Amino acid sequence: MQRLVSVLRQDGVDKDLIHLVNVLGAACKEINFRLHQGALAGVLGSTQDENVQGEVQKKLDVISNTLLKDLLLDSGLVRALASEEEDDIVPGPESGQFLVSFDPLDGSSNIDINAMVGTIFSIYKAEAGEVSQQSFLRPGREQVAAGYVVYGPATLMVLTTGQGVKMYTLDQTIGEYLLTVPHVKINSDTQEFAINMSNQRHWAKPMQDYIDDLLQGAEGPRGKNFNMRWVAAMVADVHRILCRGGIFTYPWDRRAPEKAGKLRLMYEANPMALLIEQAGGKASTGTERILDIQPEQIHQRVAVVLGAANEVDTVEQYYRHQR
């Protein structure tokens, strides 16, 4: 099996970008190790603090953030980084050629129940000159690479550099990510959906109608039965879709009407949208393509509908009929 670095070289990826992916991979190996230590290392549970978004930080959110931040800044490759767990951007050396945004630990409510979590990252080429929040506010279609590491029964890195999507499994005996799925492809049709059904009463009408129709199964307007899954970690739900198809959505809801959604554009929706599109799927807000959104803030939220192309189109039709 081929090592991550040799696959990237073979694909003709820029050597600094290869180096950067390698640094991210190294930080994630360390996060993986800490996760596996669990209670033995005293890393479970919450801190006393909240992040800038008013969410309680888990100890592992903070540990993962620090590991990534330290290794990325130390690499000399990163002009600045943005993280779910940092209020503002963190500048790096002027020599840095890349801007990196990340969710250090996605699905962190799963940590204390020993369920799947992951690290999500998004990479842009930095422009010359001063760096500020403004430097990060570019549409997702400009990402030069995006991916995640999912920590489950096996640990995998799933990556795109704009030439499709590949999966690498971490061989813990040699500490290398080895290519295990060379061409990830999502079927255009599906009979599996992922949504937090407990929020049903808060959704907008088009989402209510769409899910109602799925739930009616073979007897309803869709004429087929649908299965449901929800891991409560976007990274794991998206991973399932890249493995066996499906549609995932976290829509706008009335609990926080001023927010476009729960998930964050820069380090959750955009990198996942690039992966999904590169695997032949679609990623939308319900009304527009996620990768075309012009960001206004680094922590901005967005409604997300992604996965099987025909199913995402169907959701967009429900939204169009509403207007």
Point out which residues bind Mn ion (CB under 5 A): 84, 103, 105-106
When the beta carbons of 17 and 68 are compared against Mn ion, the nearer one is 68
For the bound state, the minimum distance from the C-beta of residue 109 to ligand AHG, rounded and expressed in Å, comes to 6
Closest CB 125 distance from ligand AHG, rounded Å: 25
Residue 171 Cβ, how far from ligand AHG at the closest point, in Å?
Answer: 26
Task: Give the C-alpha separation, 63 to 76, whole Å.
Answer: 21
The reply to whether 103 sits near ligand AHG by the rule CB under 6 A is yes
Nearest alpha carbon to residue 44 among 56, 30, 61, 29 = 61
Kindly tell me which residue out of 132, 196, 317, 322 binds ligand AHG, with binding defined by CB under 6 A.
196
Q: Which is nearer to Mn ion, 78 or 234 (CB)?
A: 234
Site for ligand AHG in 207-266 (CB under 6 A): 232-234, 250, 262
- Of the two residues 84 and 277, which places its CB atom closer to Mn ion in the complex? 84
Min CB(105)–Mn ion separation in Å: 5
d(CA 66, CA 268): 19
Query: Which of 183, 179, 211, 176 is closest to 197 using CA atoms?
Result: 211
What is the token pair recorded at 238? 């998206």
Site string for ligand AHG, 80-99 (x = CB under 6 A): ----x---------------
Q: At what angle do helices 205-215 and 309-322 cross, to 10 degrees?
A: 130
Q: Which of residues 28-67 bind ligand AHG (CB under 6 A)?
A: 55
**Cross-sheet strand order for the sheet of 304-307:** 227-228, 192-194, 247-250, 304-307, 282-284
Strand (E) or helix (H) holding 305: strand 304-307
Instruction: Give the shortest CB-178-to-ligand AHG separation in angstroms.
Output: 26
CA distance 288 to 308: 16
Whole-angstrom distance, CA of residue 210 vs CA of residue 319: 9
Contact region with ligand AHG (CB under 6 A), list: 65-73, 105-113, 170-178, 212-220: 105-113
300 and 268 in contact (C-beta within 8 Å)?
no
Residue 196 binds which entry of ligand AHG, Mn ion, none, with Cβ cut-offs from 5 to 8 Å by kind? ligand AHG
Q: Which does 286 bind (CB under 5 to 8 A by kind): Mn ion, ligand AHG, none?
A: none
* Residue with the shortest CB distance to ligand AHG: 234
Smallest gap from residue 59 Cβ to Mn ion (A) = 13
Contacts of 251 (CB under 8 A, 6+ apart): 195, 203, 204, 207, 261, 286, 303, 304, 305
| CA-only gyration radius of the chain, Å | 19
Stretch that binds ligand AHG, among 31-39, 106-114, 125-133, 165-173 (CB under 6 A): 106-114
Interface contacts to ligand AHG, rule CB under 6 A = 55, 84, 103, 106-108, 196, 232-234, 250, 262
